[in-house]
Amino acid sequence: MNDFLSITPLLTILVSLIATGLIIWTGDRNPNLREFWSIGAGVVKFGLVLSMLPAVLAGEKIRFTLFALMPGIEIAFKADAFSMLFAMGAAFLWIVTTFYSIGYMRSLDEHAQTRYFACFAVSLSTTMGVAFSANLFTMFLFYEGLTIITYPLVYHKEDEESKAGARKYVIYLLGAAKVFLIAAIVLTYNLAGTLEFRQGGIFAPEVVAAHPVLLSAVFLMYLYGFAKCAVMPVHGWLPAAMVAPTPVSALLHAVAVVKTGVFTVLSVVFFVFGTDTLSALGVNKVAIAIACFTLLMASVIALSRENLKARLAFSTVSQLSYIILGAALLTPAAIVGGISHITMHAFGKITLFFCAGSIYACAHKTEISELSGLAKKMPWTMTAFTIGAFNMIGVPLVGGFVSKWNLMVGALEAGSLTVLTVLLASSLLNAAYFMPIVYKAFFEHYSETHQGHGTAGHHEEIRENPFMAIPLCFTAAATFVLGTYPDFILNLAREVLK
């Protein structure tokens, strides 16, 4: 694989930082111009990402080093198949979410909208920084930056509930980084002499042979240090963060933040340890057990949640462990399934959060018991919700089926009927907590006793907001495209194995 120098990865990071300055400068004086900068930056960022795609598909890696602190520790960036898969999804969905945010924030007349859009832009810069990091040191800096800049978004409502949720959010994520992540990075540098990502891993065979227990502990420190992957028991920050406005939950907690968590863990699996080293250590079996426990228990907890966003939050905790499980199985099909699930889950879950936000903004409903008969008044929203639910369950013709199918094939390749059983059981649990919502919305009659707060009994006045309905229908349709034409995503995922 050839490498060549280009500043483009750095430009993808800088473009939304520049937009942040313009958003703040415009402020509340001209909301239309302020939101133009957000949309424009998203389009430019996505265009820059796409401009690197031909080279990556040709088997090349794009690199750019900003500066070196010491041998093996640099601020450096690279674009390869794995980073492109993550970056394309995040950049594209930022554009969609910006349109959605305009409708959501204006319909609810939310305060501090300039701060909201500014923090949103910076969060996408840090996400791109993680995606295009060429080493652990650079990744760590942008990973921590993402935690800090998303704190104001979680605390956006500025009430006691938001304060408590934001505090839990930052304590979990920064605390895990301080306790586990910094120590793991220091040990990695001492044992390997570098933090640079390398295909097949950076630990020499003699180091693996001499320190198997220590390296196993280091891997688990990464798994829990990168707490945004939300494996139990360091998952509590994610449900707590649901106090944020729904567009924040949609992009940051269905795409950017949580996907940053699994992306960093998978980067450690493929480019710090390598599959051969993990197999020799046997620590991947521990990761498999943790992932299986998380995806089952989170699904069971989701069944008990009456609040719609809370149910979606625990669904996300469960779905993230599919990605960890795919990497930990170490078989080709499972790895492809895990990597592709980053994209498949992103489009399905952002659709579900968009729908939850539309329901709240247009009908002022937050509880599942309030959704009876809602499909008659919000048909586009509830149809999109159904498609998003099918994606989570893994119904054929939507993207989730493709990634889950590869995971199950990977479990068979690994000879693990236990993992296969867990995957099937989890899909049944997905159906158990999603399909009653669909049934209630489409087949039950509306009752005055189920009205949401603020509706004043006027259910007939509920109308869908086009600024929100169009983006959620678009992402729902995209799950069908990904399910029927998955080759592009799967081929990028397979490139990681080369």
Structure tokens at 69: 């602190």
pLDDT of residue 271: 93
Task: Compute the CA torsion angle 222, 225, 229, 235 (nearest 10 deg).
Answer: 140
Please provide the average confidence, as pLDDT, over all residues in the chain: 88
Task: Classify the phi-psi angles of 331: left when phi > 0, otherwise alpha if psi is within -120 to 50, otherwise beta.
Answer: beta
Q: Taking 70 as the threshold, does the pLDDT of residue 443 lie above it?
A: yes
| Beta-carbon contacts of residue 392 (< 8 Å; ≥ 6 apart) | 315, 319, 345, 348, 349, 352, 400, 430, 434
- pTM, two decimals, is 0.91
How large is the average pLDDT for residues 451-463? 53
pLDDT of residue 139: 94
Give 374's pLDDT tier (boundaries 50, 70, 90): confident
Q: Alpha carbon of 19 to those of 40, 55, 254, 389: distances in Å?
A: 8, 27, 23, 34
Rounded distance, CA 100 to CA 126, Å?
21
Helix crossing, 113-131 with 8-26: angle to 10°?
170
Give 437's pLDDT tier (boundaries 50, 70, 90): very high
| pLDDT tens digit sequence for 302-312 | 999 998 988 99
Burial zone of 371 (CB within 10 Å; 0-12 exposed, 13-18 middle, 19+ buried): buried
| pLDDT tens digit sequence for 198-238 | 988 899 899 888 899 999 999 999 999 898 888 888 888 88
Percentage of the chain lying above the pLDDT 90 cut: 50
pLDDT of residue 175: 85
| Beta-carbon contacts of residue 94 (< 8 Å; ≥ 6 apart) | 42, 45, 46, 120, 124, 251
Which of 134-143, 176-185, 284-293 is the least confident region? 176-185
How large is the average pLDDT for residues 177-187? 89
Contact in structure between 316 and 391 (CB atoms under 8 Å) = no
Give the single-character DSSP code of 193: S
pLDDT of residue 457: 44
Please list, residue by residue across 382-412, b when 16 or more beta carbons sit within 10 angstroms of its beta carbon and e when fewer do: bbbbbbbbbbbbbbeebbbbbbbbbbbbbbe
| pLDDT tens digit sequence for 162-171 | 888 888 888 8
How large is the average pLDDT for residues 323-350? 93
Structure tokens at 419: 């993992």
pLDDT of residue 420: 94
Contact in structure between 258 and 89 (CB atoms under 8 Å) = no
pLDDT of residue 453: 46
Which of 36-50, 104-118, 121-135, 381-395 is the least confident region? 104-118
| pLDDT tens digit sequence for 234-290 | 888 888 887 777 777 777 777 788 889 899 999 999 999 998 899 999 999 999 999
Q: Taking 70 as the threshold, does the pLDDT of residue 455 lie above it?
A: no
